[in-house]
């Protein structure tokens, strides 16, 4: 931690800060400057609570050097986390790109079975499908909830495809974890801490979507909740952030993929469907996600997007998805050279 | 709803759109333009689901005229909602400014009782205090939880002050509603829909904070969840939004106070503590919130901010709070002239 | 400056950084921490160029303690800058609130004279009016340019009102400075450095609007250009920033008024018309700007906003402006108590 | 244009709007709805000025269907613009990816000649290098200005490499256009309209960078200024936008590349150096820009980034650049399949 004093701070002020540091069992190192004095704080093990310093008037700024997370950091876990998702299916490290696809919402048995069989045939290992749907308006379709969960479970058993679904409440975590292979925590719930804590107790991997306006630091701190709760299997998912630009639904922040991989050992995937909100842009951004090094892609695909109950405009038709898969396949040789 | 066609759309394309409109039981009105054709949709009662239109390729844009909320709108409830909070304490409409103050987190019996007595003495009708604390890092203080709730309840009973606390999980709503006078839903949970639904069943008023990057439309749609659930007593709370500016913790968006009052009948309050994150800016922004017409203020005040376990830098000292109260009092005559 | 090393940095890495510091004629102070080492840099006079350090791989982060401006800072000029604008008209420090009002664009002799006489009658000391208009679309009205300047000059001479107008090009600065009392640099040109340099040579005060997405630090650094050029008379103007919210044209960031006053000695004014973009919100935000301590207000008022060639929806009618003036007058006694 | 009435609007209000439409020589089409009436406006040729409508109180919202640009749109120019930059060097349409590389700022003869020869040897057709440098702080290096221009010109003549440099003032356009092959308008000047107008008269192609917080619509409207001025050769350049995220210098908005290509016929390139601000992320984002369909890349490369006078941390070393070139080369076969 670095404490920067106001330019008008007197020697007494500096002494007061030093005493406060010592009182915390830490050690001060003064850094006198041309304009103002700074005081380094040493001797800490991890994050320092800056509460005792925050109201000393002669302090201009408190700069934290230590980050608000630890377990998710490469500093403490240098090698990549590789998560086993099913027989021969892994994500993270050097594992091959994981494809996850499926409708935004589970709407009917026919819809979910058609999609599961279609994906299975193409060799896509995991299907997404929302049972509990977070919707801006209470007047929109809210998901089939428990019934949707059952349909997902049936489709999984019958086709052998792995499934992931969003869980919105702490009290649903246990139930959902029984029915699916991977839990998803949505962007709107990235800082729903009771939910994160509960996911930390689950025995299933968790896809943690980045919040609409979450910094990388906050995103990783949210993942830290899950790891600290006892669940080391977290997959980070970039899904676009909210900016001033309204031409796309969100702004895909692809640079965070290589960035997060330098900071954290956790796998990182990208959801180009929510990141763009437009079907025609999804293929481009999927390819981009692959070449920046994403460990996986999560895509919305629907047998009949024109009649989808949610996110139709960003869902790919089956044919478009097949075409995109072939394109991604075409990148395989290139990716080996990276 | 207005459907704007691509400039290259043919007459057949326009006919396809018209047929789709008719198939929904609605009526099309063509608006041929110099560059492109637009088609108005009429005959609807409320929000139209645009799913069937979203994948017609010849459509450039779909513009909704109807809003994703209804019950919170002045269109359906022209007069101000006035909520009774306790004997002689009301918020909304022409009720006097409601002051809510207290620490960010409940830390100890002594802290919360000192604060309650101090506020009571000054005539402040309601105290805030967090039992469940949403914190970015799992390594930070997480609140006293149930124990905090008990302390709040005791302080309420002993001093007669009204209390409000944040509820973070659907499963806690019932318990919390028994212990406090007003429930708070925090910014990070503004789109936690299961929580909103549960709050809709509570018999206590709800303060709904605006999300960090929530538009006014999304904020009102979240309030709609609570009203639709059966609870008409929602108080909206602006607490600053996330922008590129980091000189303040958030950016206070005070213009939404008069704006929301034109759209909705619900009371609107302001939290200048979170909006600025800096104690020295809180008094200025409190006065500003009053003159733009806020129905109330929610302020962080602490007997010893230097040692607060959270939000110390934005908490007022007792003396500063007293001074601010006197300043606000000084605006009383002015406010009558508005 | 503080240099934070990666956690894996070796002693040799630390030595390399220290040598680089010494090579700049500066002195290193090591701050060994639990997780990583930090190195303070001392001995500098003002801003340190961090170029020689930026590519040392073992460095995690470089933190500047010194700001990119100096002349605009209270550190170097503790007392308020008060600028004389005309006989008995001053801005800054304890001077009374300065009202500036007028149309967005100068449209005709009749329009500008009607406005000048109306304002003069009300005792408003300064009129605004755009001759050169920055417009998003080249198909929109671009201003009367030189002819507008002449009209402004005539209105000034005939009515005795002070005038301010925007200058968009370095080559126009001299001409415009001859015709008006105050130059304005618009939000879109806040980082047009050739223009700032030229304004630094002008003999007239400069209103510097904050850029649409400019941080406080960048805004002050832009003001530094003008001061460094030799012109100490800069008035900062907050006019709303661009955020994700589209319900208002911009988001008024009123907290920067008291904030900037703690950092800088320059006067700060607010433009509630551009900050909101909606006539009905302008009065509320004007009052708010006054109570947060703005040294002045810049408002759009038009004899016939319905037919204004630009910014009609945010321009006040004469009657609305008169009413607002009376309301602000009603705050006078209150303001004395602050 | 679509005019949406308030829900309380009476028949007389609707009549007033219709009369106003007719008075503009246009035709109204009423779209009565369940909650409110909307009125379509037809008969216009291009953009309608909404001034006469903006202050009718019974109007809730005015929605423009026509865009603020025309010449840059595919509606009016369906086929791709291909710009000839030198012998055998073209950009746009199906032309091969254009590489532009070089230092942020021209610092010395040796630096710029070393870079020019290095790039020429690698077959890179165009070099960038700033003579006039826009810098946040006036205390930072401001560029060699005219002397830099001369060095660029010499390097161009001696090595035969094409060159591009930024022009910051209208008065410099003519001079700069004589010395370089392509003019650049920087992000901070994207809405410097006098500069855009002047660039419209230049006989050289113009790279127009997207502003820090410019929407796609505003960016295209700025390009429209140049085309309307008579210069059809505009290359759009995405360079990252300003968001709340500070982990990267800006947020690269790659989705706008395919998006803009659907709206406009102009070539679009990407600058991954400014978009990320971090050398280690530049290669990833360069590859991503290629696969989303960028017509070119503009990269910062420096013989000695450790001692660069500006943007060192985001400049590639020669070796890193060579490696990146080979990687991009590796995408060639893949790109042919798209």
The answer to whether C247 faces chain A, any CB pair under 8 Å, is: no
Q: Residues B166, B170, B172, B173: is their CA dihedral positive or negative?
A: positive
Distances (CA, A) of A5 to A35, A44, C65, D184: 10, 20, 10, 42
**Beta carbons of A2 and C38 less than 8 Å apart:** yes
Which pLDDT band holds residue A63 (cuts at 50, 70, 90)? Answer: confident
Separation in Å, CA of D160 to nearest CA in chain B:
43
β-strands D37-42, D59-63 pairing: unpaired
At B134 the pLDDT is 92
Residue in A155, A132, A156, A136 with CA at minimum distance from that of residue A144: A132
Distance between CA atoms of C192 and A143, rounded to whole angstroms? 52
The answer to whether B248 faces chain D, any CB pair under 8 Å, is: no
Task: Please report residues of D whose CB lies closer than 8 A to that of C46.
Answer: 139
Instruction: List pLDDT tens digits, range A194-214.
Output: 999 999 999 999 999 999 999
Separation in Å, CA of D20 to nearest CA in chain A:
31
Range A220-240 average pLDDT: 97
Nearest CA in chain B to A213: B213
Counting as low any pLDDT under 50, the low residues of chain B are: none
Kindly tell me the burial class for residue B307, based on how many C-beta atoms sit within 10 Å of its own C-beta (0-12, 13-18, 19 or more): middle
Q: What is the distance of C-alpha D194 from the center of its chain?
A: 17
Instruction: List pLDDT tens digits, range D244-279.
Output: 999 999 999 999 999 999 999 999 999 999 999 999
Nearest CA in chain B to A49: B140
At C278 the pLDDT is 92
**Beta carbons of A213 and B242 less than 8 Å apart:** yes
- pLDDT in single tens digits along all 338 residues of chain C: 778 888 888 889 999 999 888 887 788 877 766 667 888 887 666 667 777 787 788 888 787 767 889 899 998 889 999 999 988 899 999 999 999 999 999 999 999 999 999 999 999 999 999 999 999 988 888 899 999 999 999 999 999 999 999 999 999 999 999 999 999 999 999 999 999 999 999 999 999 999 999 999 999 999 999 999 999 999 999 999 999 999 999 999 999 999 999 999 999 999 999 999 999 999 999 999 999 999 999 999 999 987 888 887 899 999 999 999 999 999 988 888 77
Task: Please report residues of A whose CB lies closer than 8 A to that of C213.
Answer: 244
At D323 the pLDDT is 97
- Please spell the DSSP secondary structure of B159-170, one letter per residue: H--EEEEE--SG
Separation in Å, CA of D281 to nearest CA in chain B:
21
**Beta carbons of C292 and B292 less than 8 Å apart:** no
The answer to whether A113 faces chain B, any CB pair under 8 Å, is: no
The answer to whether A75 faces chain C, any CB pair under 8 Å, is: yes
Distance between CA atoms of D180 and D164, rounded to whole angstroms? 6
Separation in Å, CA of D155 to nearest CA in chain C:
25
Task: Please report residues of A whose CB lies closer than 8 A to that of D241.
Answer: 243-245, 251
The answer to whether D44 faces chain B, any CB pair under 8 Å, is: yes
Q: What is the distance of C-alpha B280 from the center of its chain?
A: 24
Distance between CA atoms of C310 and A120, rounded to whole angstroms? 59
Separation in Å, CA of A91 to nearest CA in chain B:
26
The answer to whether B33 faces chain D, any CB pair under 8 Å, is: yes
Nearest CA in chain A to C73: A7
Task: Please report residues of A whose CB lies closer than 8 A to that of C4.
Answer: 65
Angle made by CA atoms A205, A211, A216, in degrees to the nearest 5 = 85
pTM of the model: 0.91
**Beta carbons of A31 and C44 less than 8 Å apart:** no
**Beta carbons of D330 and A334 less than 8 Å apart:** yes
**Beta carbons of A215 and D247 less than 8 Å apart:** yes
- A51 vs B51, B171, B309: nearest CB: B309
- A285 vs D213, D292, D330: nearest CB: D292
Q: In degrees rounded to 5, what are phi and psi of residue B279?
A: -50, -40
Q: What is the distance of C-alpha B279 from the center of its chain?
A: 22
Residue A142 has pLDDT above 80, yes or no: yes
Separation in Å, CA of C7 to nearest CA in chain A:
7
Q: Which of residues 293-332 of C touch A (CB under 8 A)?
A: none
The complex scores an ipTM of 0.90
The answer to whether B178 faces chain C, any CB pair under 8 Å, is: no
Residue D144 has pLDDT above 70, yes or no: yes
Which pLDDT band holds residue A36 (cuts at 50, 70, 90)? Answer: confident
At A236 the pLDDT is 98
Residue in C165, C119, C120, C116 with CA at minimum distance from that of residue C144: C165
Separation in Å, CA of D83 to nearest CA in chain C:
23
Distances (CA, A) of D22 to B12, C191, D16: 30, 44, 10
**Beta carbons of B193 and A68 less than 8 Å apart:** no
Range A262-276 average pLDDT: 97
Instruction: List pLDDT tens digits, range D280-293.
Output: 999 999 999 999 99
Instruction: List pLDDT tens digits, range D4-52.
Output: 888 888 889 999 999 888 887 788 877 776 667 888 887 766 667 777 7
List strand residue ranges (DSSP E) for B206-327, in order: 206-209, 234-238, 268-270, 296-300
Residue in D32, D102, D125 with CA at minimum distance from that of residue D310: D102
Beta-carbon pairs below 8 A across chains A and B: 126
- C65 vs A38, A46, A213: nearest CB: A38
The answer to whether B44 faces chain D, any CB pair under 8 Å, is: yes
Q: How many CB atoms lie within 10 A of CB A247?
A: 18
**Beta carbons of C137 and D51 less than 8 Å apart:** no
Beta bridge partners of B31: B38
State the residue for tokens 């290629």.
D290
- Please spell the DSSP secondary structure of C212-268, one letter per residue: TT--HHHHHHHHHHHHHTT---EEEEE--B--S--SSSSB--TTHHHHHHHHB-S-E
Residue in D244, D188, D194 with CA at minimum distance from that of residue D212: D188
At D34 the pLDDT is 64
């Amino acid at each position: 931690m670095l404490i920067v004093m106001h330019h008008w701070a007197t020697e007494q002020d500096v002494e007061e800060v030093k005493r406060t540091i010592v009182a915390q069992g830490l050690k001060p190192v003064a850094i006198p400057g041309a304009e103002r004095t700074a005081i380094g704080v040493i001797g800490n093990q991890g994050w320092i609570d800056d509460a005792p310093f925050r109201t000393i008037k002669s302090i201009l700024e408190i700069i934290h050097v230590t980050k608000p997370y630890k377990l998710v950091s490469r500093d403490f876990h240098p090698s990549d986390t590789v998560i086993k998702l099913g027989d021969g299916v892994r994500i993270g490290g050097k594992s091959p790109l994981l494809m996850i696809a499926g409708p935004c919402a589970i709407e009917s048995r026919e819809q979910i079975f058609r999609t599961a069989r279609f994906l299975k045939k193409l060799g896509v290992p995991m299907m997404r499908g929302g049972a509990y749907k977070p919707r801006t308006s209470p007047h929109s379709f809210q998901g089939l909830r428990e019934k949707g969960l059952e349909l997902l479970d049936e489709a999984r058993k019958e086709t052998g495809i792995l499934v992931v679904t969003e869980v919105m409440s702490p009290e649903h975590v246990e139930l959902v974890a029984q029915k699916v292979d991977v839990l998803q925590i949505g962007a709107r719930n990235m800082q729903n801490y009771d939910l994160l804590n509960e996911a930390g107790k689950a025995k299933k991997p968790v896809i943690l979507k980045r919040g609409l306006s979450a910094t990388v630091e906050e995103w990783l701190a949210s993942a830290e909740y899950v790891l600290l709760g006892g669940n080391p299997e977290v997959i980070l998912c970039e899904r676009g952030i909210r900016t001033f630009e309204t031409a796309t639904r969100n702004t895909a922040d692809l640079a965070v993929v290589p960035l997060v991989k330098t900071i954290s050992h956790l796998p990182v995937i990208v959801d180009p469907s929510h990141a763009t909100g437009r079907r025609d842009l999804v293929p481009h951004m999927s390819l981009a996600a692959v070449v920046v090094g994403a460990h996986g892609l999560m895509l919305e695909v629907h047998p009949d997007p024109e009649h989808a109950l949610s996110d139709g405009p960003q869902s790919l038709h089956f044919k478009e998805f097949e075409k995109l898969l072939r394109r991604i396949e075409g990148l395989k040789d290139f990716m080996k050279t990276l």
